[in-house]
């Protein structure tokens, strides 16, 4: 299990120090500020873990070993093999102890998202055109039609089955991954959301997402 001392992650430590200075506001705006800072800290954590596991950006090469480039005006820049952020985020799951993943799934905020009906453009979206009942959070950046929302769910069937059989390792890891995906969507909404009342600025979403994110960050840094 990978854990970090604060001195090992100066960026994450700085974000946590800044978050500790934020004072409550009547409008709840401090929650968005804290989430941004805690996500930046988490970003520092999962990118370092990915690097330790050998998942690093690499320069693209031809079969003969020559470097692939792309033009940028009058210069050529090496092309890079990218690693998806979700893939990097999911690399933290094996570094979590079973008891911690169990506590994360059973957390009251996870239960909130299991039962939550998401918002898009000022109204709740209970189901999509496929007849699927929505929960979790809608990704407002990629959603253009309420009939076909892009959303991060917490699988109700797996969630209930896990509650009955909490020794199921596969479901535990799967649900932990869904919690991480949901928190990532909240981050994306925070960065890319619009001004409409939806899942990008819902205070109740932030009130429940932030404790989960704080729990994860605090788990990895001591």
- Dihedral (C-alpha) 112, 116, 118, 123: value to the nearest 10 degrees? -120
Tell me, yes or no, whether 1 lies in a domain.
no
pLDDT tops 80 at residue 125 = yes
Q: Which of 99, 108, 88 is nearest to 169 (CA)?
A: 99
Query: Which tokens is 28 given?
Result: 């709840």
The answer to whether the beta carbons of residues 157 and 114 sit under 8 Å apart is no
Tell me, yes or no, whether 75 lies in a domain.
no
Q: Containing domain of residue 204, as a range?
A: 6-56+84-220
Tell me, yes or no, whether 62 lies in a domain.
no
Q: pLDDT tens across 21-49, in order?
A: 999 999 999 999 999 999 999 999 999 99
Tell me, yes or no, whether 149 lies in a domain.
yes
Tell me, yes or no, whether 102 lies in a domain.
yes
Domain count, the chain: 1
- Dihedral (C-alpha) 105, 109, 115, 120: value to the nearest 10 degrees? -120
Mutual orientation of helices 156-164 and 98-106 as an angle, nearest 10°? 120
- The model carries a pTM of 0.92
Tell me, yes or no, whether 78 lies in a domain.
no
E-strand stretches of 97-211: 119-120, 123-124, 137-138, 151-152
The CA R_g of the chain, rounded to the nearest whole Å, is 19
Ramachandran angles phi, psi of 110, nearest 5°? -65, -45
Q: How far apart are CA 145 and CA 206, in angstroms?
A: 24
Q: pLDDT tens across 39-95, in order?
A: 999 999 999 999 999 887 889 999 998 999 999 999 999 999 888 999 999 999 999
Tell me, yes or no, whether 68 lies in a domain.
no
Tell me, yes or no, whether 69 lies in a domain.
no
Q: pLDDT tens across 145-193, in order?
A: 999 999 999 999 999 999 999 999 999 999 999 999 999 999 999 988 7
The answer to whether the beta carbons of residues 113 and 208 sit under 8 Å apart is yes
């Amino acid at each position: 299990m990978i854990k970090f001392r604060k001195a090992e992650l100066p960026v994450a430590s700085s974000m946590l120090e800044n978050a500790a200075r934020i004072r409550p506001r009547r409008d709840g705006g401090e929650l968005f500020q804290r989430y941004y800072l805690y996500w930046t800290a988490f970003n520092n954590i999962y990118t370092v873990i990915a690097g330790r596991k050998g998942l690093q950006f690499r320069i693209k090469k031809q079969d003969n070993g020559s470097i692939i480039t792309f033009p940028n005006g009058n210069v050529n820049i090496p092309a890079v093999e990218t690693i998806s952020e979700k893939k990097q985020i999911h690399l933290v799951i094996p570094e979590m102890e079973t008891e911690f993943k169990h506590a994360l799934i059973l957390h009251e905020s996870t239960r909130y998202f299991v039962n939550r009906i998401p918002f898009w453009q000022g109204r709740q979206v209970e189901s999509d055109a496929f007849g699927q009942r929505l929960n979790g959070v809608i990704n407002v950046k990629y959603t253009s039609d309420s009939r076909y929302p892009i959303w991060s769910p917490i699988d109700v069937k797996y969630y209930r089955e896990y509650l009955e059989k909490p020794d199921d390792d596969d479901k535990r890891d799967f649900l932990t991954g869904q919690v991480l995906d949901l928190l990532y969507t909240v981050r994306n909404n925070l960065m890319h959301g619009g001004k409409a009342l939806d899942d990008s600025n819902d205070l109740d979403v932030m009130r429940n997402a932030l404790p989960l994110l704080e729990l994860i960050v605090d788990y990895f840094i001591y």
